Amino acid sequence: MRVRVAVAVMTVLLLMYVVLAGQRAIVLLTSGETVGVVMGVALLVLPAVAIWAIGRELWFGVRAQQLGERLDAEGGLPDEDLPVRPSGRIEREDGDALFPRYRADVEEHPGDWRARYRLGLAYDAAGDRRRARGAIRTAIRLETSERRAA
């Protein structure tokens, strides 16, 4: 729930920024001065890029959560009971120990979104967020293809 509140707050702040930047952009665009017009265009482009990036990340989060819930309903989420730090994160050494098993599952079933999702969880447990996100993005793509083919 805390994550959703944080996402909502960040989205509202971004929208406020876009509105304020848009107002300044209009003022600069109507100034008639070359520098003002260029700055006005930049003030329109940069918020558009920010909105695209936030939208992309929000969509990733929604789809990742949907797949996680689906995998949980199927009983396919990892069920290892590992020790955690006070922050709630798994100890890195324990996360590293899980990795070979999930990597082997992906190698045996390269087109299975479930295996990729579990690999993403293993990467995350090992502290490799970049690869975790990549594996989950691949899982999303594979599940979408599977759903469209059905």
Same domain, 45 and 108: no
CATH number of the domain encompassing residue 140: 1.25.40.10
Q: pLDDT band at 125, cuts 50/70/90?
A: confident
pLDDT tens digits, 10-29: 888 988 988 888 899 999 99
**Would you call 90 helix, strand, or coil by DSSP?**
strand
Contacts of 132 (CB under 8 A, 6+ apart): 120, 121, 123, 124
Residue range of the domain that includes 105: 92-149
pTM of the entire structure? 0.75
Domain-located, residue 12: yes
Same domain, 55 and 108: no
Domain-located, residue 80: no
Alpha helices in the chain (DSSP H): 2-29, 34-73, 92-108, 113-125, 129-149
Per-residue confidence (pLDDT) for residue 88, from 0 to 100: 66
Same domain, 8 and 67: yes
Domain-located, residue 21: yes
How many structural domains is the chain composed of? Answer: 2
Domain-located, residue 79: no
- What is the DSSP-derived secondary structure letter of residue 43? H
